[in-house]
Amino acid sequence: MHKVGFIGVGIMGKSMVRNLMKAGFELHIYARTRAKVEDVIGEGAVFHESIKDCVRDCDAVITIVGFPQDVEEVYFDTGNILESAKQGAYLIDMTTTSPMLAKKIAEAGNEKGYRVLDAPVTGGDGGARAGTLSILVGGGKENFEACMPLFQAMGTNINYQGEAGCGQHAKLANQIMIAGALSGVCEALTYARAKGLDLQVLLDSVSTGAAGSRQLDTFGPKILAEDYAPGFFMKHFIKDMKLALTEANMSGLSLDVLSQALANYEELAAEGYGDLGTQALMKYYEETVCEEE
């Protein structure tokens, strides 16, 4: 496995492309806007004007795009992946998307002789840059094992979750955990500020105790600095939470914390904050406090 097609060279994808090239893979990329990927082209990635040209000679094709409709487009639209990839190629969707869509791609791909995996990631833009992503993989286990060199170029915690769609289920469980943990961080900081505490002293005090978490470590300092630049877009997190609630409803589950977090984020998105990072949830609490005052 040498030639890799990569579609979705955004905040996460660009770092993943770089790490794949560092590992010795030949990268062929497609992006809607060439100007946004000139840096990785300069570093050795081969740019193509169409998905068809990008994937047709590749041993593996990796996609990490924005929304389920984008996944549908790159796989199923005329002339795209399922009509153009090389016979027997590995097709790996690393987008966080619907488990049902992952199964649909697997079924269609398997019928055409492709080897399909759903492999969403977690670890944010920092993990993508460092090559330390957690990768959650669903599909045929033999395909998972064959693609391990690719995964090891991008991540360090790589686990097989089960059949097609299980990688997506694992990622949605991850997003449910984040929704609760980050909401807790924002609520705690809101409470501490209202009570007159020094927020930096508070972070230093609790981060190594039972309340410590990756969300607190990553976003606590950013919230204090009012740094809401996206490592992961709020609008994409909203998409993930909606997917999780849909799947929960199909199983008769009531996830109240997730539902409330989603409602809070959707209110912020309606106010125009969808392109900020997930830590901008703090704005919801700041606005709530201001309204009460």
Cβ distance 143 to 114 under 8 Å?
Answer: no
The DSSP line for 144-200 is: HHHTHHHHHHHEEEEEEEESTTHHHHHHHHHHHHHHHHHHHHHHHHHHHHHTT--HH
Active site residue 283: no
Residue 207 — φ and ψ, nearest 5°?
A: -65, -25
The C-alpha atoms of residue 70 and residue 63 are separated, in whole angstroms, by 10
The C-alpha atoms of residue 86 and residue 90 are separated, in whole angstroms, by 9
Residue 276 — φ and ψ, nearest 5°?
A: -85, 170
The catalytic residue among 103, 171, 239, 283 is 171
Q: Please state, in angstroms and as integers, the Cα–Cα distance from residue 178 to each residue in 23, 248, 267, following that order.
A: 31, 16, 18
State the Rg of the chain over Cα. Answer: 20
Q: Are strands 46-48 and 26-30 parallel, antiparallel or unpaired?
A: parallel
User: Residues with Cβ < 8 Å from 218, sequence gap 6 or more?
Assistant: 124, 126, 231, 279
Residue 139: what residue type? G
Cβ distance 21 to 27 under 8 Å?
Answer: yes
The C-alpha atoms of residue 62 and residue 135 are separated, in whole angstroms, by 13
DSSP 122: E
Residue positions annotated with a catalytic role? 171
